[in-house]
Amino acid sequence: DLFDMRNPPLTDILRTMQILSKLSDHDIPFLGIVGNHESKQDHQWLDLYEQIGIAKRLSLKPYYLDDIAIYGIDYVPKTKVDEQSLNIEEPVQGTKYTFLTMHQLAAHVPQGTFNCDLMLKEFPFKIDLFLLGDYHKYTSTRIGDTIVTYSGSTERHSSVEHEERTYNFIDTDNGRIDITRIRIPTRNFVYISITLNDHIERPDQYIFDKVRERINEIEGSVVILSIDGNSNSTLSHSEIDEFLLSKGAVVSRVNDKRVMNEYMEQDINQTLVFLEPDEAVQQKLNKLHLTEGGQKVDYIVRNLEIPKSKVDDEVSTRIAEQLEKIGTKPKKKPRVSSQTLNSFL
């Protein structure tokens, strides 16, 4: 993801522009694809940076870097993967290597479902290196003769991401593809785990004492304090935060696992089911029992390929077609405003 949201703050947009301009000034191309976090309905942020000459949005038409042909496919939602059609332009004669970049969770990583093997078979030529994003840890494997790798995220996005941050340096000068992991210097993270029991008379003081044992590591660090064990005592998380910050922590986070453990021990008859967002939306829509016309409106509103500026006209056209289909031909094409549409949905 170039950004972590569809509408990043202006300061982030300008700062990214400044960074990419430095690369452009040194004739270093910046190549990218659209990730799931930044994906918009119409034009993408990469399009903006490409138009001002500081980035290149990859596609199924190869971008050439010397004798390397590089392809890119933007993030595809899980429900749309089967509908993906590939109109691939083959590399020119003399191309030594072909690289493919995608932003998907592959089946060989946790919670991944994307079939890399099937995708590689869709290509009419061999892919030498398959570069993937979306998974935050480094992984590398092979599918046939193709190297498949995630470089991992450049920043930690969760307190459970303990691994060091890295990026991949790819070298083809020796007649082969060599991948080297380069470590990214980040703020130091300190993880402190404390287990409380019935014999501890003053849990708060016990926690402070345990923190003091690691005092030399805390200054200038991000401190993640996890509490487990006896749930009878009540602790002030704000006081623990203040104590950690007073000892030099730049950021502190208190994870009191006792609350979750107590909750999980209760007799719960309901089953928790985690769904893909698109699947969850579809299940909700099924319960609404929308008419054929309503289903068409829903499709238009949520179709990323239809620009927002054209939604009103598209809905009006489909409603007119639906009325004509059921034998109620309107005297003129109906107009549906965005305000009316929003209230309807």
- What are the pLDDT tens digits along the chain (345 aa)? 888 888 899 999 999 999 999 999 999 999 999 998 888 877 899 999 999 999 999 999 999 999 999 999 999 887 666 556 678 899 999 999 999 999 998 888 888 888 888 888 888 899 999 999 998 889 999 999 999 999 988 888 777 777 889 999 999 998 899 999 999 988 888 999 999 888 888 888 888 999 999 999 999 999 999 998 876 777 788 888 999 999 999 989 888 887 665 555 555 555 556 666 766 777 777 777 777 777 778 777 777 667 777 777 777 777 777 777 766 655 555 555 555 444 444
Query: Are 338 and 311 spatial neighbours (Cβ–Cβ below 8 Å)?
Result: yes
Considering the domain architecture, whether residues 116 and 139 belong to the same structural domain is answered as yes
Is residue 26 in a domain?
no
Total domains in the fold of the chain: 3
Considering the domain architecture, whether residues 246 and 207 belong to the same structural domain is answered as yes
Considering the domain architecture, whether residues 260 and 330 belong to the same structural domain is answered as no
Is residue 14 in a domain?
no
pTM metric for this prediction: 0.66
Distances (CA, A) of 187 to 181, 241, 250, 251, 255: 19, 18, 9, 10, 20
Residue 334, Cα to own-chain centre: how many angstroms?
Answer: 39
pLDDT at 343 (0 to 100): 42
pLDDT at 307 (0 to 100): 75
Considering the domain architecture, whether residues 234 and 201 belong to the same structural domain is answered as yes
What residue numbers bound the domain in which 242 lies? Answer: 189-265
Is residue 223 in a domain?
yes
Considering the domain architecture, whether residues 79 and 109 belong to the same structural domain is answered as yes
Considering the domain architecture, whether residues 94 and 204 belong to the same structural domain is answered as no
Considering the domain architecture, whether residues 247 and 169 belong to the same structural domain is answered as no
Catalytic, out of 37, 103, 157, 199 = 37
Residue 63 DSSP class: E
Q: What does 261-319 look like in DSSP terms, one character per residue?
A: HHHHHS---S------HHHHHHHHHHHHT--HHHHHHHHHHH-TTS-GGGHHHHHHHHH
Is residue 260 in a domain?
yes
Q: Is 43 a catalytic residue?
A: no
pLDDT at 341 (0 to 100): 46
